[in-house]
Amino acid sequence: MRRVKLAYKTIYGRCYLSSIEDFIDSSIYSSLKGKVSLILTSPPFPLNRKKKYGNLNGNDYLNWLSGITNKLRVLLKRNGSFVLELGNSWQPGKPVMSTLSLKALLSVQESGNYYLCQNFIWYNNAKLPTPAQWVNIERIRVKDSFTNLWWLSKSSRPKANNRNILNNYSDSMNKLLVSKKYNSGLRPSEHVIGEKTFLNNNNGSIPSNVLIGTNTHAFSKYINYCKRHEIKLHPARMPIFIPEFFIKFLTKPGDLVFDPFAGSNTTAEAAENLKRKWISVEQNADYVLGSKGRFLEDETNE
Protein backbone atom coordinates (compact mmCIF):
# COMPACT_ATOMS: atom_id res chain seq x y z
CA MET A 1 0.00 0.00 0.00
CA ARG A 2 1.23 3.47 -0.86
CA ARG A 3 0.93 6.53 1.35
CA VAL A 4 -0.37 9.54 -0.53
CA LYS A 5 0.11 13.13 0.49
CA LEU A 6 -2.83 15.22 1.67
CA ALA A 7 -2.11 18.67 0.21
CA TYR A 8 -4.94 20.57 1.90
CA LYS A 9 -8.38 20.25 3.45
CA THR A 10 -11.45 22.49 3.33
CA ILE A 11 -14.84 22.32 5.06
CA TYR A 12 -16.12 19.76 2.56
CA GLY A 13 -13.09 18.28 0.86
CA ARG A 14 -9.57 16.97 0.62
CA CYS A 15 -7.02 17.45 -2.16
CA TYR A 16 -4.24 14.88 -2.59
CA LEU A 17 -0.93 15.57 -4.31
CA SER A 18 -0.44 12.24 -6.03
CA SER A 19 -0.68 10.45 -9.32
CA ILE A 20 -3.98 8.63 -9.66
CA GLU A 21 -2.00 5.40 -10.10
CA ASP A 22 -0.45 5.80 -6.63
CA PHE A 23 -3.78 6.89 -5.17
CA ILE A 24 -5.40 3.69 -6.48
CA ASP A 25 -2.69 1.79 -4.59
CA SER A 26 -3.44 3.59 -1.32
CA SER A 27 -5.69 2.80 1.64
CA ILE A 28 -7.72 5.96 0.90
CA TYR A 29 -8.83 4.48 -2.41
CA SER A 30 -9.93 1.29 -0.64
CA SER A 31 -11.81 3.30 1.98
CA LEU A 32 -13.83 5.10 -0.74
CA LYS A 33 -15.29 1.99 -2.36
CA GLY A 34 -19.04 2.38 -2.98
CA LYS A 35 -19.12 5.90 -1.50
CA VAL A 36 -18.78 8.22 -4.49
CA SER A 37 -21.91 9.69 -6.10
CA LEU A 38 -20.17 11.44 -8.99
CA ILE A 39 -16.78 11.16 -10.65
CA LEU A 40 -16.32 14.24 -12.83
CA THR A 41 -13.06 14.74 -14.64
CA SER A 42 -11.07 15.92 -17.66
CA PRO A 43 -8.22 13.49 -18.11
CA PRO A 44 -5.21 14.60 -20.15
CA PHE A 45 -6.43 14.67 -23.75
CA PRO A 46 -4.79 12.58 -26.47
CA LEU A 47 -3.22 15.66 -28.05
CA ASN A 48 -0.61 15.64 -30.74
CA ARG A 49 0.82 18.91 -29.55
CA LYS A 50 2.18 18.27 -26.06
CA LYS A 51 0.66 20.45 -23.36
CA LYS A 52 2.69 21.32 -20.33
CA TYR A 53 1.55 18.27 -18.38
CA GLY A 54 2.53 15.75 -21.09
CA ASN A 55 0.38 13.15 -22.84
CA LEU A 56 0.52 9.59 -24.02
CA ASN A 57 -0.81 8.79 -27.46
CA GLY A 58 -2.36 5.97 -29.50
CA ASN A 59 -2.99 2.60 -27.89
CA ASP A 60 -0.80 3.52 -24.93
CA TYR A 61 -3.28 6.30 -24.13
CA LEU A 62 -6.29 4.02 -24.51
CA ASN A 63 -4.81 1.31 -22.30
CA TRP A 64 -3.66 3.79 -19.69
CA LEU A 65 -6.98 5.68 -19.47
CA SER A 66 -9.27 2.63 -19.52
CA GLY A 67 -7.03 0.86 -16.98
CA ILE A 68 -7.62 3.74 -14.57
CA THR A 69 -11.32 4.35 -15.23
CA ASN A 70 -11.92 0.63 -14.82
CA LYS A 71 -10.50 0.83 -11.30
CA LEU A 72 -12.56 3.91 -10.49
CA ARG A 73 -15.80 1.99 -11.07
CA VAL A 74 -15.72 0.37 -7.62
CA LEU A 75 -15.69 3.78 -5.98
CA LEU A 76 -19.11 4.63 -7.36
CA LYS A 77 -22.35 4.05 -5.52
CA ARG A 78 -24.79 1.79 -7.36
CA ASN A 79 -26.69 4.89 -8.57
CA GLY A 80 -23.53 6.94 -9.18
CA SER A 81 -22.40 8.71 -12.36
CA PHE A 82 -19.13 9.29 -14.15
CA VAL A 83 -18.84 12.40 -16.35
CA LEU A 84 -15.78 12.30 -18.58
CA GLU A 85 -14.66 15.27 -20.67
CA LEU A 86 -12.79 14.32 -23.84
CA GLY A 87 -11.73 16.87 -26.45
CA ASN A 88 -11.38 16.27 -30.15
CA SER A 89 -7.98 15.40 -31.57
CA TRP A 90 -6.32 15.64 -34.97
CA GLN A 91 -3.79 13.55 -36.84
CA PRO A 92 -0.28 15.02 -36.94
CA GLY A 93 0.54 16.93 -40.14
CA LYS A 94 -2.77 16.17 -41.90
CA PRO A 95 -6.08 18.06 -41.98
CA VAL A 96 -7.95 15.05 -40.66
CA MET A 97 -9.25 14.15 -37.26
CA SER A 98 -7.96 11.37 -35.08
CA THR A 99 -10.54 8.88 -33.87
CA LEU A 100 -8.59 8.36 -30.66
CA SER A 101 -10.96 10.39 -28.54
CA LEU A 102 -13.92 8.26 -29.74
CA LYS A 103 -11.92 5.09 -29.15
CA ALA A 104 -11.11 6.39 -25.67
CA LEU A 105 -14.81 6.69 -24.87
CA LEU A 106 -15.48 3.18 -26.15
CA SER A 107 -12.58 1.62 -24.30
CA VAL A 108 -13.52 3.38 -21.05
CA GLN A 109 -17.16 2.39 -21.44
CA GLU A 110 -16.51 -1.22 -22.45
CA SER A 111 -13.67 -2.04 -20.09
CA GLY A 112 -15.46 -0.50 -17.10
CA ASN A 113 -18.84 -1.93 -18.12
CA TYR A 114 -20.43 1.51 -17.87
CA TYR A 115 -23.74 2.55 -19.40
CA LEU A 116 -23.66 5.61 -21.65
CA CYS A 117 -26.51 7.67 -20.20
CA GLN A 118 -26.24 10.69 -22.47
CA ASN A 119 -23.69 12.70 -24.39
CA PHE A 120 -23.25 16.40 -23.77
CA ILE A 121 -21.10 18.94 -25.53
CA TRP A 122 -19.50 22.02 -24.11
CA TYR A 123 -19.57 24.62 -26.87
CA ASN A 124 -16.91 27.24 -26.19
CA ASN A 125 -17.82 30.19 -28.41
CA ALA A 126 -14.56 31.99 -27.54
CA LYS A 127 -12.28 29.12 -28.54
CA LEU A 128 -9.26 30.16 -30.60
CA PRO A 129 -9.28 28.97 -34.22
CA THR A 130 -7.49 25.62 -34.16
CA PRO A 131 -5.93 23.55 -35.67
CA ALA A 132 -4.28 26.78 -36.88
CA GLN A 133 -2.61 25.34 -40.00
CA TRP A 134 -5.90 24.09 -41.45
CA VAL A 135 -8.23 26.77 -40.07
CA ASN A 136 -6.24 30.03 -40.15
CA ILE A 137 -3.53 29.49 -42.71
CA GLU A 138 -4.88 27.13 -45.39
CA ARG A 139 -8.57 27.91 -44.56
CA ILE A 140 -9.69 24.37 -45.36
CA ARG A 141 -11.30 23.49 -42.00
CA VAL A 142 -13.45 25.42 -39.54
CA LYS A 143 -12.86 26.15 -35.85
CA ASP A 144 -12.93 23.14 -33.58
CA SER A 145 -14.99 24.64 -30.78
CA PHE A 146 -16.49 21.98 -28.55
CA THR A 147 -15.50 19.15 -26.28
CA ASN A 148 -17.50 16.05 -25.44
CA LEU A 149 -18.81 15.37 -21.98
CA TRP A 150 -19.77 11.73 -21.77
CA TRP A 151 -22.19 10.87 -18.96
CA LEU A 152 -21.52 7.26 -17.96
CA SER A 153 -23.03 5.28 -15.11
CA LYS A 154 -22.96 1.99 -13.25
CA SER A 155 -26.71 1.37 -13.54
CA SER A 156 -29.12 2.38 -16.28
CA ARG A 157 -30.95 4.70 -13.86
CA PRO A 158 -28.37 6.68 -11.92
CA LYS A 159 -29.57 9.39 -9.55
CA ALA A 160 -30.53 12.42 -11.66
CA ASN A 161 -33.06 15.24 -11.46
CA ASN A 162 -33.34 17.84 -14.19
CA ARG A 163 -35.57 19.98 -11.94
CA ASN A 164 -32.34 21.03 -10.22
CA ILE A 165 -30.87 22.60 -13.36
CA LEU A 166 -33.79 24.44 -14.92
CA ASN A 167 -33.11 27.49 -17.09
CA ASN A 168 -35.11 30.69 -16.72
CA TYR A 169 -38.10 30.78 -19.02
CA SER A 170 -37.74 32.94 -22.11
CA ASP A 171 -39.70 36.21 -22.29
CA SER A 172 -42.09 34.62 -24.79
CA MET A 173 -42.75 31.66 -22.45
CA ASN A 174 -43.39 34.03 -19.54
CA LYS A 175 -45.87 35.94 -21.74
CA LEU A 176 -47.53 32.68 -22.77
CA LEU A 177 -47.94 31.66 -19.13
CA VAL A 178 -49.83 34.94 -18.54
CA SER A 179 -51.86 35.04 -21.79
CA LYS A 180 -52.45 31.24 -21.79
CA LYS A 181 -52.62 31.41 -25.61
CA TYR A 182 -50.54 29.42 -28.08
CA ASN A 183 -50.98 27.31 -31.22
CA SER A 184 -51.78 23.74 -30.33
CA GLY A 185 -52.16 20.83 -32.76
CA LEU A 186 -49.97 19.09 -35.30
CA ARG A 187 -46.50 20.56 -35.92
CA PRO A 188 -44.46 20.02 -39.13
CA SER A 189 -42.27 17.66 -37.07
CA GLU A 190 -45.43 15.54 -36.61
CA HIS A 191 -45.46 16.19 -32.87
CA VAL A 192 -48.96 16.88 -31.59
CA ILE A 193 -48.99 19.76 -29.12
CA GLY A 194 -51.89 19.48 -26.69
CA GLU A 195 -54.16 22.41 -25.76
CA LYS A 196 -52.85 22.56 -22.20
CA THR A 197 -49.29 21.24 -22.64
CA PHE A 198 -47.60 24.62 -22.16
CA LEU A 199 -49.93 26.11 -19.57
CA ASN A 200 -48.23 24.67 -16.50
CA ASN A 201 -45.57 26.77 -14.84
CA ASN A 202 -42.77 24.31 -14.06
CA ASN A 203 -40.47 27.05 -12.72
CA GLY A 204 -38.17 27.00 -15.75
CA SER A 205 -37.29 25.22 -18.95
CA ILE A 206 -35.45 21.92 -19.19
CA PRO A 207 -31.87 22.46 -20.41
CA SER A 208 -30.46 20.73 -23.46
CA ASN A 209 -27.30 18.66 -23.70
CA VAL A 210 -25.39 21.56 -25.28
CA LEU A 211 -23.66 23.61 -22.59
CA ILE A 212 -22.50 26.98 -23.82
CA GLY A 213 -19.89 29.22 -22.24
CA THR A 214 -16.28 30.29 -22.15
CA ASN A 215 -13.36 30.01 -19.76
CA THR A 216 -11.87 33.35 -20.70
CA HIS A 217 -12.33 35.17 -17.39
CA ALA A 218 -9.39 37.47 -16.78
CA PHE A 219 -10.14 37.62 -13.05
CA SER A 220 -11.21 35.05 -10.51
CA LYS A 221 -10.14 34.17 -7.00
CA TYR A 222 -7.99 31.40 -8.51
CA ILE A 223 -6.32 33.65 -11.11
CA ASN A 224 -5.73 36.46 -8.61
CA TYR A 225 -4.18 34.04 -6.12
CA CYS A 226 -1.85 32.46 -8.69
CA LYS A 227 -0.74 35.85 -10.03
CA ARG A 228 -0.10 37.23 -6.56
CA HIS A 229 1.97 34.20 -5.55
CA GLU A 230 3.64 33.77 -8.97
CA ILE A 231 2.23 30.29 -9.43
CA LYS A 232 1.73 29.17 -13.02
CA LEU A 233 -1.89 29.07 -14.15
CA HIS A 234 -3.31 25.75 -15.25
CA PRO A 235 -3.42 25.74 -19.08
CA ALA A 236 -6.62 23.67 -19.46
CA ARG A 237 -9.10 24.80 -16.85
CA MET A 238 -12.77 23.96 -17.10
CA PRO A 239 -15.21 26.83 -16.57
CA ILE A 240 -16.96 26.33 -13.23
CA PHE A 241 -20.46 26.24 -14.75
CA ILE A 242 -19.69 22.77 -16.17
CA PRO A 243 -19.09 20.97 -12.85
CA GLU A 244 -21.87 23.05 -11.24
CA PHE A 245 -24.34 21.80 -13.85
CA PHE A 246 -23.51 18.10 -13.36
CA ILE A 247 -23.18 18.31 -9.57
CA LYS A 248 -26.63 19.90 -9.24
CA PHE A 249 -28.11 17.48 -11.79
CA LEU A 250 -26.61 14.23 -10.44
CA THR A 251 -26.02 14.69 -6.70
CA LYS A 252 -27.54 16.06 -3.50
CA PRO A 253 -25.90 18.14 -0.77
CA GLY A 254 -23.68 15.88 1.35
CA ASP A 255 -22.93 13.48 -1.54
CA LEU A 256 -19.30 12.78 -2.43
CA VAL A 257 -17.78 14.07 -5.71
CA PHE A 258 -14.39 12.79 -6.93
CA ASP A 259 -11.99 14.24 -9.52
CA PRO A 260 -8.98 11.99 -10.25
CA PHE A 261 -7.30 14.49 -12.66
CA ALA A 262 -8.13 17.63 -10.74
CA GLY A 263 -5.80 20.20 -12.34
CA SER A 264 -6.73 23.54 -10.80
CA ASN A 265 -9.56 21.87 -8.85
CA THR A 266 -12.52 23.50 -10.58
CA THR A 267 -14.69 20.47 -9.78
CA ALA A 268 -13.86 20.81 -6.10
CA GLU A 269 -14.68 24.52 -6.00
CA ALA A 270 -18.09 23.82 -7.51
CA ALA A 271 -18.66 20.96 -5.04
CA GLU A 272 -17.61 23.09 -2.06
CA ASN A 273 -19.94 25.94 -3.10
CA LEU A 274 -22.81 23.47 -3.48
CA LYS A 275 -22.12 21.80 -0.10
CA ARG A 276 -21.09 18.46 -1.56
CA LYS A 277 -18.18 16.56 -0.05
CA TRP A 278 -15.27 16.19 -2.47
CA ILE A 279 -11.94 14.44 -2.97
CA SER A 280 -9.48 15.34 -5.67
CA VAL A 281 -6.17 13.99 -6.91
CA GLU A 282 -3.60 15.89 -8.95
CA GLN A 283 0.00 14.93 -9.59
CA ASN A 284 1.45 18.35 -10.40
CA ALA A 285 2.55 20.24 -7.27
CA ASP A 286 2.26 23.69 -8.89
CA TYR A 287 -1.33 23.08 -9.94
CA VAL A 288 -2.19 21.85 -6.44
CA LEU A 289 -0.53 24.89 -4.89
CA GLY A 290 -2.49 27.28 -7.12
CA SER A 291 -5.77 25.44 -6.61
CA LYS A 292 -5.61 26.09 -2.87
CA GLY A 293 -6.30 29.76 -3.67
CA ARG A 294 -9.85 28.80 -4.66
CA PHE A 295 -10.64 28.07 -1.01
CA LEU A 296 -8.77 30.82 0.82
CA GLU A 297 -10.22 34.16 1.84
CA ASP A 298 -9.57 36.68 -0.93
CA GLU A 299 -6.45 38.50 0.34
CA THR A 300 -7.28 41.58 -1.77
CA ASN A 301 -10.24 42.23 0.56
CA GLU A 302 -8.10 42.12 3.71
Ligand X SMILES: C[S@@+](CC[C@H](N)C(=O)[O-])C[C@H]1O[C@@H](n2cnc3c(N)ncnc32)[C@H](O)[C@@H]1O
Name the minimum Å distance from CB 281 to ligand X: 5
Within a 10 A sphere around the Cβ of 26, how many other Cβ atoms? 17
* Nearest residue (CB) to ligand X, 134 versus 272: 272
Contact criterion met (CB below 8 Å) for 17 and 280: no
Residue closest to ligand X when measured from CB atoms: 263
241 Cβ neighbours under 8 A, 6+ residues apart = 211, 213
Among 39, 264, 270, 288, binds ligand X (CB under 6 A): 264
3-state secondary structure at position 201: coil
The binding track of 205-234 with respect to ligand X, each residue x by CB under 6 A or -, is: -----------------------------x
Least distance to ligand X from the beta carbon of 55, Å? 8
Instruction: Fill in the per-residue mask, 20 to 39: x = in contact with ligand X (CB under 6 A), - = not in contact.
Output: xx------------------
Nearer residue to ligand X within complex by CB, 83 or 117: 83
CA distances from 66 to 110, 175, 235, 258 (A): 9, 50, 24, 17
Contact string (CB under 6 A) for ligand X, positions 234-253, x = contact: x-xxx---------------
Measured distance CA(189)–CA(149) in Å, rounded: 28
Handedness of CA 168, 170, 171, 172 (dihedral sign): negative
Which residues contact ligand X by CB under 6 A?
19-21, 42, 44, 53, 234, 236-238, 261, 263-264, 266, 281-284, 287
